[in-house]
Amino acid sequence: MTGRRARRWAGAVAVVVLLVVWTRARIDGLSVDTQATNPIVRWEWVFLREDTRTELWDATLQHLRLTFIAVGAGTLISAALSAIALRLRWSLAPITAFTGFLYTIPSVALFGLLRSRFGNVMAAEVALTSYTLLVLVRNMVAGIDGVPAAVTDAADGLGLSRTRRLLTVELPLALPVIVAGLRVATVTTVGLVGITAIIQLGGLGSLIFDGFGTQYFTKIVVGSVLSVLLAVVLDLLFHGLEVLLTPWSRRPVVR
């Protein structure tokens, strides 16, 4: 187990080191004159152009902001919906149907539709939030439902109140499933944020749209790569959080 994990980390580190070395070597050979030599990625635009760094940084920050607000709001709304669904079992089916319906609306259409009613940012956040609800509610409910009946029975029998049972027993045990939902919701949202470029937002997506508009492929590649990197990093962060918060699931089972 630990051996396999160590090898995986060593592999990742090796790839990063190789990338850094390779790009360093490329940069050394660059100058503004050599523009036409690489039609796909113009490294001088990435590394030598003065405004590139601030543009990329701003785009990334906007991307992150749009993502976090959407996932944060989605988590709050989903927690409330899950609480209702768990308390009133009959409401689970309509809640799931409703969030499922939201999920099926094409994002381009929804961004455009909401924009006529709210401002750009608000339209983007409302749409992005609504897409997180299905997976978040489903995982929250499944996580709480997955707590073994014997454990909740024992909690009740020992005299824990409902609130205390939820906070100290059910939520910690449901955490891996809930975090799994958060990871999927976050990665999905990072992807969807790019599409908000059609309403003059988009974070890294605006870079991609620009690239298509001007036939400048470097921007498309850089925007895509950074967007993917962002998704991967956030996914790993959540995974790390989960590992930190669930120490009991890592100890070996001895019988």
Partner 1 sequence: MSEGSAITLAGVTKTFPGTRAPAVRSLDLTVNSGSIVVLIGPSGCGKTTTLRMINRLIEPSGGTITIGGDDVRQRSVTELRRGIGYVIQQIGLFPHRTIAQNVATVPKVLGWDRERIRARVEELVDLVGLDRDLLTRFPAELSGGQQQRVGVARALAADPPVLLMDEPFGAVDPIVRGRLQHELLDLQEKVHKTIVLVTHDIDEAVALGDKVAVLNVGGELEQYDTPDALLAKPATEFVASFLGAERSIKRLSLSRVRDLHLDGGIWVDVSAGLAGVRAAMDRSAVGWLGLVRDQRFTGWISADELAAVSALDDLDPAPPLARVSPESSLREALEIILTSHSAAAVVEDQAGHFSGLVELEAIRRGLTG
Q: What residues make contact with partner 1 under the rule CB under 8 A?
A: 148-161, 164, 169, 172-173, 246, 248, 251-255
In the complex, what is the shortest distance from the CB of residue 89 to partner 1, in angstroms, rounded to a whole number?
A: 15
Shortest Å distance, C-beta 52 to partner 1: 47
State in angstroms the smallest separation of the CB of 180 from partner 1: 16
Residue number, 49 or 164, with CB nearest to partner 1: 164
Q: How far is the CB of 174 from partner 1 (least distance, A)?
A: 10
CB closer to partner 1 out of 117 and 255 = 255
Q: Rounded to the nearest whole angstrom, what is the least distance from the CB of residue 241 to partner 1 in the complex?
A: 15
Minimum CB distance to partner 1 smaller for 102 or for 180:
180
How many Å apart are CA 118 and CA 96, to the nearest integer?
26
CB closer to partner 1, 29 vs 159: 159
- Is 161 or 200 the residue whose CB approaches partner 1 more closely? 161
141-162 as b/e: b if 16+ CB within 10 A: bebbeebeeeebeebeeeebee
